[in-house]
Amino acid sequence: MGLFSRNKDNNKKPDEQQPAVDEFTQRMIDTAAACVEHFEIRSGGKLDYSEQSLHIVDSILDEAADHYEDMEPEQQKWLVSSFGAYIFEVARRNYGGRYYWYDAGNQPIFVTGQPKFEISIIVFDKVKGRMVNGKEDHIPFFFKGYTERLATAKEGDRATIV
């Protein structure tokens, strides 16, 4: 066993140490990681999946807004899905929850608190809105609404933050 062994508990297999993630969750994790890799260097900030890092995301989206309408549809989609996945991963890593596909919105939705309550966020529309509408769709403010709702959630509560 090497100095940096990933398997600290020799009695467990590697897949028993951490819960397995479904394919949808893994795609979100991978997309968020690619976003970090691509934009962290350009922004000069630290995209570390903290709530504070959402200010960096908002700043990058503010810059992108100047060029959004001139971008090809695939570039627009890539920006929305990259930053959307990153914001979702901030939620998942800090508050837990699960991804679902939201058919009515044709996009992912993230649900926290099951089975006790369900506080959900829909992020892709918000990311696009930030680039189309400007500061009125401020990402840290949006995320704060989610965390405040989580903090006050009681059993049986259901809310979607959009």
Give yes or no for a contact between 75 and 62, defined as CB atoms under 8 angstroms apart: no
Give the mean model confidence (pLDDT) for residues 35-60: 87
State which amino acid sits at residue 25. T
For residues 124 and 78, the answer to whether their CB atoms sit within 8 Å is no
18 conformational bin, left if phi > 0, alpha if psi -120 to 50, beta if neither: beta
Question: Each residue of 106-122: pLDDT tens digit?
Answer: 999 999 999 999 999 99
Backbone angles phi, psi at 160, to 5 degrees: -120, 125
How large a percentage of the chain has pLDDT more than 70?
A: 86
